Structure 1
Amino acid sequence: MRQEPTWRIPVGILALVVALVAYGLIIARYVPGLVGQWSALLQTPVYLILGVVWIMPLRRFLTWMETGRWG
């Protein structure tokens, strides 16, 4: 384990918050115009997928926050 704090963790957390807010605003702005007229049964999988897709790049980002390497 690391004994000294690193700058990557607070910077990474701030970047993650900013990126999630931006992603949420983009989704809230554009997706309802595209799928708003669909039935709820068709909208549900779209919003479920969009709600989970941001997690995919998270592993590499967390690895960078801990180690300083992307892989």
Structure 2
Amino acid sequence: IQSSAGGIQLDAMFVDEGFGSLDEESLQQALRALGDLSAGNRLVGVISHVAELKERIERQVIVKKDGSGGSRVEIVV
């Protein structure tokens, strides 16, 4: 991304879904790549419903609907 963006350093990135359509090997490769990207002081956010991601990602911000039509946030560290 840095080379195609003119050398701009990215410290945060959000990935929105697409993991549910991956086969097991591709999902493992994607998880390794996300781990590599989040090394150092970079933030990688993943928006997903895939259960394995929830199990494998330690720090999470979970947003859930509540009964009144709103939502609540749970932070897992």
Q: What's the TM-score, normalizing by structure 2?
A: 0.30
More strand by share: 2
Return the TM-score normalized by structure 1.
0.32
User: Higher RCO, 1 or 2 (CA under 8 Å, sep at least 6)?
Assistant: 1
Q: Which has the higher helix share?
A: 1
User: Rg: which structure is higher?
Assistant: 1
